[in-house]
Structure 1
Amino acid sequence: MKFSSAVSAAALGFASLSSAITVSYDTGYDDAGRSLNSVSCSDGSNGLITKHGWQTQGNVAGFPRIGGYQGIAGWNSPQCGTCYGITYNGKTVYVLAVDYTGSGFNLAKAAMDDLTNGQAAQLGRIEAQFQQVDVNRCGL
């Protein structure tokens, strides 16, 4: 009984480590000069301008591995600045969440190209695995 409980607990723990999610791209996140005032995680107590003093997307640690995440509810979300490992076909990239998106992740094209070995434009949208990771994976 104890063995099966331990196995069940381990399986549940591993299952929660990553989940499937849709991933797309938006070239707006590739613009290093774009003001952070144009994304949900601009200012406010959870904002990237407030926390890090960054003014443009190019200032963000790990740029261009940035994008929108469905878990960011909008301006000043507590999820602003969280880091995610996104895995596709065995390759993982780490992306900093800087904006809201309606579904899944919406990344810089360069980040999706990294993830898909240069096939972002050809694929358009993919299904990938993801998990939240420590922000040091995103350069913080």
Structure 2
Amino acid sequence: MKFTSVIVVLAAVALPAFAEGSVEVTYNTIYDDPNTPLSITACSNGANGLQTKGYDTLGELPSFPYVGGIPGLTWNSPDCGSCWRLSYTDASGTTRTITVTGVDGAWSFNLSLEAMNALTGGIAQEKGTVTATATQVSASLCGM
């Protein structure tokens, strides 16, 4: 009984750590092209795939171009179509927040250039990589 209680407590502490935290954010312009087929992403087909839900290209997603790869997402992942709130505070103390839909796997949050520019105030190419805070939110906030 004590062992079960310990597991429940650890799960309650560990799960929020995965739901929110400091992450690296990069960009890839492939996510800016509305004609990019979802068939080349981790969220292509399968029970959790976005094609299975009727989307064939990135441009068909409600949140486009606020899409990208997210850490830990693999083929047929339940995280396909998940929605993430990213917040970035620049050197002047200005904080910008966007929501993005997870459509692919990546080692960091790898967004469209347009989404990263919205997050950074237009300096995505200058910065290349920024550190932001990520929080998983309801998929409905991304139109899913």
Match of 1:87 in 2: 87
Question: How is 1:96-135 mapped onto 2 (pairs within 5 angstroms)?
Answer: 96-101=101-106, 103-135=107-139
Find the aligned partners of 2:66 and 2:116 in 1 and give their Cα distance: 8
Q: Secondary structure at the match of 2:51?
A: helix
State TM-score, norm by structure 2: 0.82
Find the aligned partners of 2:85 and 2:72 in 1 and give their Cα distance: 14
Match of 2:140 in 1: 136
Find the aligned partners of 1:107 and 1:65 in 2 and give their Cα distance: 7
Q: What percent identity do the matched residue pairs reach?
A: 40
Question: How is 1:1-140 mapped onto 2 (pairs within 5 angstroms)?
Answer: 16=17, 18-51=20-53, 53-72=54-73, 74-89=74-89, 90-101=95-106, 103-140=107-144
What count of residue pairs does the alignment treat as equivalent?
125
Amino acid at match of 1:62: S
C-alpha displacement of 1:100: 0.4
Alpha-carbon displacement from aligned partner over 1:101-139 (angstroms, at most 9, x marks no partner): 1x2200000000010111110000000001000011111
C-alpha displacement of 1:18: 2.9
List 4+ stretches of structure 1 deviating above 4 A.
none
